[in-house]
Chains A and B, each alone.
Chain A
Amino acid sequence: MSKWRNSIVLILLIMILPGCWDMEFIKDARLIYATGFDLLPGGQFKLTVTIRDSIETGGGTEQHNTIMESVARTTRENRDLMQSMVSGKLSVYKIRVHLLGESVAKKNIFPFMDVLYRDPKSALNARVCVVEGNANELLRLNKVGVTYIGETVDEMISGEEQMTVVPKENLGSIAPVMWDHGQDFTLPMVKKTAKNVKVTGTALFHGHHMTGKLNRQESTLMLLMAGRKADTARLTIPVDQKQNPQVANFITFDVNKAKPKMKVTVKPGNRIDVDFPMKLTVSAVEYPLGELSQKAVVQKLNKQLSAILTARSQQVIQKLQRANCDVFGIGRHLIAFHHDTWKQLHWKTDYRKVRFHPRVQVEIIGSGILN
């Protein structure tokens, strides 16, 4: 008897337990891969998405990319509008990359992104980048070579992250910074060329809007100073002018280790000094002039590179200060350890008055398999 009862209960449970309210069939889902945000000249808001479909054919699966766009008042409204134009259910949980058009980035970006943070299904690990120009035009490329545009951008940024050219950020990681008064975030910046896309550097933000740019080399230096070196970091620096061909004037090196040591001191009158020594141990990967076996040459190079990089980091800091972008979190440091000073400061204007003293010290310790 008991066996019968148990089996009936079991069957009933199996019928009840799976539920059928929150089912989402992957076969019905239209997965959005990339989204682009643009403000049109009239102030209207255009959202562009690329949808990835896999269609089962006899021989396997076939990939398709659909590009859709709509104009509406909010992000969510745009999504709903798009839903009315496609079959299947638009799904946001596989979005890999969000592209912010420059028009959006320079405004307050948060209103556009609120839904991305509020929706429990949204993927907070999606990359975010700024498009120089128009995100819609870039996504309209559809394919670069054999790769669909969404993947292209995503993989490109991922590659450049590993080269320490652009900061490694995603929706989740910029949120705490965006809401903190004491620091600012930066985002990778891409640009559409004729039929291609390239990563041009880093977009600087202050609070919720974009205020400046760094090119690729400046960006790498900034990341090194922020202690955010990824797998590799490579710099090419001119060390001579007289050689012919021009190529021989340069040294290219990989940074093995970057040790920035930031020290913030507050002096009376709320004068803030940031002592910023950074030690770089590097290995040359390209140096046509050779001679790296001689100690004297290496030492001279060390000195020269240190001077050049110190000057460059000064320029980078100037750009950051002009953009009011507190990447190094000086404000955060003040909040945490000099709270009384912080309360008297007006960081928006006082950040520019901070005196940085960068001092880069380069040491060549490797030269590949040549001397």
Chain B
Amino acid sequence: MIKESSRITQGQLFFYMIQAQVGIGIMSLPHDVHAVAKGGAWISILIGGVVVQLAILVMWALCKRFPNLTMFEYLPKIFGKWIGGFFNFAYIIFFILMATLVLVLFESLINKWVFPLTPRWAVLALIVMTSVYLVIESLRTITRFYVFVSVLIVLIVLIALNAFTIADFTYMFPITEAGWGKIFLGSNKVIVSLLGFEMLLVVYPFVEGKADGKLKAASAGNAFTTLLYSFLVFIALIVFSPMEMAMIPEPIPYMLKAFSFRVVERLDLLFLSIWTVIVATSYMNYLFLAANGFGHYFHRGNHRTAVYYTAIISYILALIPQSPDGIEFLTQIVSWASYAFVYGLPVLFLLISLVFRKREKGKTA
């Protein structure tokens, strides 16, 4: 059972959703999607959002059958102790890998853009330590922080709005230059960037209220993220000419480098500082998910102790890949894994629980 003091409201779920989804992807998404979908990249994002929405529906349908249990608790109920446990540990490893990936990408960008001389271990230690400090608290505390820092997203939008002063709308035409096939293919990149929503599997029982309301909050969060990404990609599309876009891996901060105001000279640094917090929340999310899993198995449901060693594991793992090839390799592994763990397995779980009529016993919420 979930402790009363760690429950969150549906409004908080909305913000949790946003903070879990928005993250590292902001930086490079326009470049990555444009490489496939050209001027239609912003449509790819919207398509990706719809795909994610479908996945959210599946997870919701699954979680609705076990309204007071996290995934770590109900998988053994569906599959029995051993197979369920196997899946659970697979998920824990997946969450740790996701956390590691966030750290690795974060470090490589910070190193490239802001601190070229600061060693990896220092940059990583900073974000890991801050995250641990928050994640050892209850989910309610974590979420309150997420709500609080959501103001920053408004700031990001405001900063990005500057782009309209230098925009040329014709850069995005012809929108279907790449063809609809490629535009759909482009959404492939997007559904990896929108990851984070799989937290529903664990966070769902923490949320107060009826199932419908939870779905609405989660969907609204996803819609917000999708629109935000689409907006940022759109902006990058109208600021950079197609060939230039191919050369710039992180269009959003690059675009900000050209602006200067009387008070603020380097908008890109301002953006990166804000972005650091946004990335930290993504990392915290995975840290919480993995620690919650360990907590369920080793600490009688309390995630607090598990946070420490989960963080250390992800920290050490993040120190390993040094070269761009290593990072690329990790990205590949994790994105393949995400298809299975986020888009594939939940469907399987749902089907099996439907066929074998598995649902939480006792009162239904």
Give the contacts of B169-187 with A (CB-CB under 8 A): 170-171, 173-174, 177
- List the B side residues contacting A74 at CB < 8 Å: none
Q: How far is the CA of A22 from the CA of B257 in the complex (A)?
A: 19
- List the B side residues contacting A22 at CB < 8 Å: 114-118
Q: Which of A17, A125, A333 meets B260, CB within 8 Å?
A: A125
Q: Is the CB of A179 within 8 A of B243?
A: yes
- List the A side residues contacting B257 at CB < 8 Å: 120, 123-125, 172
* Contact flags B200-227 to A (C-beta < 8 A → 1, else 0): 0000000000000000000000000000
Q: Is the CB of A336 within 8 A of B173?
A: yes
Give the tally of cross-chain contacts (CB within 8 A): 78
Q: Is the CB of A329 within 8 A of B244?
A: no
Interface hit among B234-242, B274-282, B293-301: B234-242
B363 located at the interface, meaning its Cβ lies under 8 Å from any Cβ of chain A in the complex: no
- List the A side residues contacting B270 at CB < 8 Å: none
Which of B113, B166, B170, B265 counts the most chain A CB atoms within 10 A?
A: B170
Q: How far is the CA of A339 from the CA of B170 in the complex (A)?
A: 12
Q: Is the CB of A120 within 8 A of B112?
A: yes
* Contact flags A9-49 to B (C-beta < 8 A → 1, else 0): 00000001101011000000000000000000000000000
Q: Is the CB of A19 within 8 A of B241?
A: no
A332 located at the interface, meaning its Cβ lies under 8 Å from any Cβ of chain B in the complex: yes
Q: Is the CB of B258 within 8 A of A19?
A: no
Instruction: Say what secondary structure dominates the interface of chain B.
Output: loop
B119 located at the interface, meaning its Cβ lies under 8 Å from any Cβ of chain A in the complex: yes
Given known contacts A120-B112, A125-B260, A339 and B174 CB-to-CB distance under 8 angstroms: yes
Q: How far is the CA of A172 from the CA of B75 in the complex (A)?
A: 53
* Contact flags A142-172 to B (C-beta < 8 A → 1, else 0): 0000000000000000000000000000111
A231 smallest CB distance to B (angstroms)? 15
Show 13 residue pairs from A and B whose CB-CB distance is below 8 angstroms, ordered by the A residue: A16-B122, A19-B122, A22-B116, A22-B118, A125-B258, A172-B255, A173-B166, A175-B244, A176-B241, A179-B243, A335-B174, A336-B171, A337-B173
* Contact flags A87-123 to B (C-beta < 8 A → 1, else 0): 0000001000000000000000000000000001001
Q: Is the CB of A21 within 8 A of B118?
A: yes
- List the A side residues contacting B255 at CB < 8 Å: 172
- List the B side residues contacting A176 at CB < 8 Å: 168, 171, 239-241, 244
- List the B side residues contacting A329 at CB < 8 Å: 168, 170
Q: Is the CB of B168 within 8 A of A179?
A: no
- List the B side residues contacting A173 at CB < 8 Å: 166, 258
Q: How far is the CA of A20 from the CA of B179 in the complex (A)?
A: 50
Q: Which residues of A contact B (CB under 8 A)?
A: 16-17, 19, 21-22, 93, 120, 123-125, 170-173, 175-181, 329, 332-333, 335-337, 339
Q: How far is the CA of A178 from the CA of B171 in the complex (A)?
A: 13
Give the contacts of B247-263 with A (CB-CB under 8 A): 247, 255, 257-260
B175 smallest CB distance to A (angstroms)? 9
- List the A side residues contacting B260 at CB < 8 Å: 123, 125
Q: Is the CB of B258 within 8 A of A180?
A: no
Q: How far is the CA of A170 from the CA of B257 in the complex (A)?
A: 11
* Contact flags B118-139 to A (C-beta < 8 A → 1, else 0): 1100100110000000000000
Q: How far is the CA of A355 from the CA of B242 in the complex (A)?
A: 27
Given known contacts A21-B119, A336-B174, A339-B174, A179 and B241 CB-to-CB distance under 8 angstroms: yes
- List the B side residues contacting A123 at CB < 8 Å: 257, 260, 265
B237 smallest CB distance to A (angstroms)? 11
Q: Is the CB of A335 within 8 A of B119?
A: no
Q: Is the CB of B117 within 8 A of A125?
A: no
A316 smallest CB distance to B (angstroms)? 22
Closest 5 CB pairs of A and B: A172-B258, A336-B173, A180-B241, A176-B241, A336-B170
Q: How far is the CA of A17 from the CA of B257 in the complex (A)?
A: 26
- List the B side residues contacting A172 at CB < 8 Å: 166, 255, 257-258
Q: How far is the CA of A173 from the CA of B255 in the complex (A)?
A: 9
A147 smallest CB distance to B (angstroms)? 20
A173 smallest CB distance to B (angstroms)? 6
Q: How far is the CA of A329 from the CA of B170 in the complex (A)?
A: 10
